[in-house]
Amino acid sequence: MSDLTLELSNIAKNYNVGQENGVNVLRSVDLKIKAGEIVALVAPSGAGKSTLLHIAGLLDTPDTGQVKIAGQDVTGLSDRKRTAIRREDVGFVYQFHHLLPEFTALENIVLPQLANGVAAAKAEAHAQDLLTRVGVAHRAAHRPAALSGGEQQRVAFCRALANSPSLLLADEPTGNLDPGTSDQVFAALMELVRGTGLSAVIATHNLDLAARMDRQLRLDDGALVTL
Ligand SMILES: Nc1ncnc2c1ncn2[C@@H]1O[C@H](COP(=O)(O)OP(=O)(O)OP(=O)(O)O)[C@@H](O)[C@H]1O
């Protein structure tokens, strides 16, 4: 078993390959994330951070290079196997919550567990525990529309962790919130991640938030540099 949750080696990604307007978004990305490590990814808009997170989370494939998750080389695997690994090992959080509007907060966290074969009672208990950890257990029976923006994001964090992944990938997780709320919600995310011991790559434009993580990296001209 590797002590690296995520390992990217020499990743390159070019959109519209061969065309005049081809974009070389990632040229040579190397990244090693240890178990339990939380890394900030800082990048100007358009620098390719979503592309990088999608490749790390097996939602996209690189043109060249290698992706390893929990020591397993996933680069050449079939779509079906990549999907299975993604479901089991990777949690995603975006700037917008993307919760299912017709289900309650609790149900939004239960459903991915049921899809993974967890029994209903166990899934509900786990969902309640996650909601308690981020301070919104009292909102468990509410639908997303009845929650504040900060509460919606807290529920989205719980959903991302529902199936106990080893890696969390977050793309501007508090970017849609006002600064005061963003600060509190970010603190809740950090506590949740630290409490569960998983590894995380969190993209943010906010250097104050980045400074609260273990390591800060910037995506610069298609490669990662330490800040
Ligand atoms: N499917 C695609 N086809 C062609 N070009 C793309 C595609 N996806 C992204 N790009 C281009 O690649 C570059 C990086 O995009 P990406 O979404 O990774 O940036 P980002 O750093 O996440 O930006 P933002 O912070 O604005 O979301 C941009 O110039 C974008 O226009």
Pocket of ligand 1 (CB under 6 A): 15-16, 23, 25, 43, 45-51
pLDDT value at position 44?
Answer: 86
**H, E, C per residue of 80-116:** HHHHHHHHHHEEEECCCCCCCCCCCHHHHHHHHHHHC
- Dihedral pair phi/psi, residue 165, rounded to 5°: -70, 165
**Annotated domain spans of the chain:** 4-226
> pTM value?
0.94
Question: Percentage of the chain with pLDDT > 70?
Answer: 96
pLDDT digits (tens, 9 = 90+) for 206-225: 999 999 999 999 999 999 99
pLDDT digits (tens, 9 = 90+) for 189-211: 999 999 999 999 999 999 999 99
Do 95 and 185 touch, CB atoms closer than 8 A? Answer: no
pLDDT digits (tens, 9 = 90+) for 78-105: 999 999 999 999 999 999 999 999 999 9
What is the 48 CA–ligand 1 centroid distance (Å)? 5
Q: Please tell me the number of Cα atoms within 13 Å of 113 on its side-chain side.
A: 23
The dihedral over CA atoms of 160, 198, 9, 211, expressed in degrees to the nearest 10, equals 90
For a mutational test of ligand 1's pocket, the pick from 14, 23, 60, 172, i.e. the residue with the most ligand atoms closer than 8 A to its C-beta, is 23
Q: Domain 4-226: which topology?
A: Rossmann fold (3.40.50)
Q: What is the DSSP letter of 222?
A: T
pLDDT value at position 66?
Answer: 97
Both tokens assigned to 128:
């309640």
Nearest-CA neighbor of 60 among 94, 11, 17, 5?
Answer: 11
pLDDT value at position 97?
Answer: 92
pLDDT band at 226 (very low <50, low <70, confident <90, very high): very high
